[in-house]
Amino acid sequence: MRGRIGIVVGFAAGYVLGSRAGRERYEQIKSSFLKAWNADPVQKQVSKAKDFGKTAALALPSAVWDGAVKITKAATRAGTPGQKLDGVFRAADTAVTDLTTSADR
């Protein structure tokens, strides 16, 4: 019971203290944020981030596809099951390296 009363008192105090600032303060904070967000230096960085994301998104699917093809070829080669498995592991390591390189670019 004691814990519930504490929670109710805490919510009430938070409501009262939070409502004192009111809508005006919220609007002031919002307008300051929008002013900073719409500043030219910030928008230049946002544009750079968008361009980088688009480039990375276009490069990754081809790297994933190439890796899948390498692994499939390694698994279907002639040889013993152990040799095939070793080939798959080598191809997977190469695919991971290629994928990491593509993601870093």
Question: Domain map of the chain by residue range?
Answer: 1-38, 49-105
Residue pair 70/91 in contact by the 8 Å Cβ criterion: yes
Return the amino acid letter for 70: K
What is the pLDDT tens value at each position of the chain, 105 positions in all? Answer: 566 777 877 876 776 567 666 777 777 878 888 898 889 988 898 888 888 877 777 767 777 777 778 778 778 877 788 777 888 888 888 877 877 776 666
C-alpha 68/C-alpha 31 separation (Å) is 49
Q: What is the pTM of this model?
A: 0.40
Query: In the prediction, which pLDDT does 65 show?
Result: 75
